[in-house]
Amino acid sequence: MKPIIRPAARDDILRQFRYFLVEQDKPKVAERFLSSVRRTMQGIIRTPQGGAPKRLSREALQGLRSWPVKGFEDVRVYYLAHEAGVRVVRVLHGKRDINNILDKESDDTPQ
């Protein structure tokens, strides 16, 4: 089973990849980041209830959980576990205003 990755989460992953690749000029770190994100998502699929619960006021995101990206623990995958699988809502660095960003999110099904 593959996770459903919302467009905003894809953008988050690409933004962090580009940061390592372009701004930091560390292509090996950028590749390792992508690999770690994939492995983290595979782990989430195996144990979706294992992530830390995140309480938000938005009804659409009730049940949201987060899991750190291995090797990049400041970056967390925010996801919802459903009977049909896992929906990745965002992938965010801890220095960002997480609550503000997530309060603007919904649980719309991605394209």
Q: 21-37: string of b/e by CB count within 10 Å (b at 16+)?
A: beeeeeeeebeebeebb
Q: What pLDDT score was predicted for residue 73?
A: 93
Confidence of residue 55 (pLDDT cuts 50, 70, 90): confident
Q: Write down all domains in the chain, each with its CATH number in brackets.
A: 4-103 (3.30.2310.20)
pTM beyond 0.85: the answer is yes
Find out whether 14 and 93 touch, Cβ atoms under 8 Å: no
Q: What pLDDT score was predicted for residue 43?
A: 95
- The pLDDT tens digits for 61-109 are 889 999 999 999 999 999 999 888 899 999 999 888 888 888 887 655 4
Q: What pLDDT score was predicted for residue 109?
A: 45
Helix or strand (DSSP H, E) at 67: strand 65-69
What integer best gives the mean pLDDT of the chain?
90
Candidates 105, 4, 102, 109; CA nearest to 54 is 102
- Counting beta carbons within 10 angstroms of the beta carbon of residue 68, is it exposed (0 to 12), middle (13 to 18) or buried (19 or more)? middle
pLDDT at 31 over 90: yes
Q: What pLDDT score was predicted for residue 111?
A: 36
Q: What pLDDT score was predicted for residue 47?
A: 93
Percent of the chain residues past pLDDT 70, beyond the cut: 95
